[in-house]
Amino acid sequence: MIPDPATRGAGRHDTRRIPWPDQEAILMHITLLSPFSGRAVPLSSVPDPVFAGSVLGDGLAVDPCVGELRAPCDGVVVAPHASGHALTVRSPEGMELLMHIGIETVSLHGAGFSLLVADGENVRAGQCLVRFDLAAIRPRVPSLVSMMLVANGDAFAVESVTRDGNVAFGESVLTAASLR
């Protein structure tokens, strides 16, 4: 069932009506697990205009309290950044989930990050993909708020996402609809 727009922003989850008028086009609903443990924040409050403006996709933002990035679903690792601060997981349904740790972390050239997976590797939901040193990274970047974004929004629409409160690894935090 598509959430009623009157409930938008109510409680922990931001819900929205899918922007495609033909509800018959929805093939399936997909629930994703939190890849981070920490405090969820609205994506619009991320201190980077590219992420805050959803330029790369809609999704989840978390200020992490544990230095791990875990797989939000079963899938395949696609194009992990050599520095370990970002990677994409493609779900079995074809959803591309860009996960990015912190703001301007690319400038660290991998310092404080341990990438645990390789391009093309199959992963399971909850599997640790990256370990990162919160204490070493936090003073060197504007923010450690980290994102999980649905990068192929033309094929998948975010229906609901946790926008505030604490989230834990493995907790359901985002529901999307497949439109193909």
Report the catalytic residues: 100
Structure tokens at 82: 């050599």
> Residue 3: how many CA atoms within 13 Å on its side-chain side?
21
The three-class DSSP label of residue 150 is strand
Asked if 8 contacts 69 with a C-beta cutoff of 8 angstroms, the reply is no
164-168: long-range contacts, CB 8 A cutoff, minimum separation 24? 164/12, 164/39, 164/40, 164/41, 164/42, 165/12, 165/39, 165/40, 166/38, 166/39, 166/40, 167/34, 167/36, 167/37, 167/38, 167/39, 167/40, 167/60, 167/62, 168/34, 168/37
The strand order across the sheet containing 156-162 reads: 13-15, 156-162, 172-178, 28-33
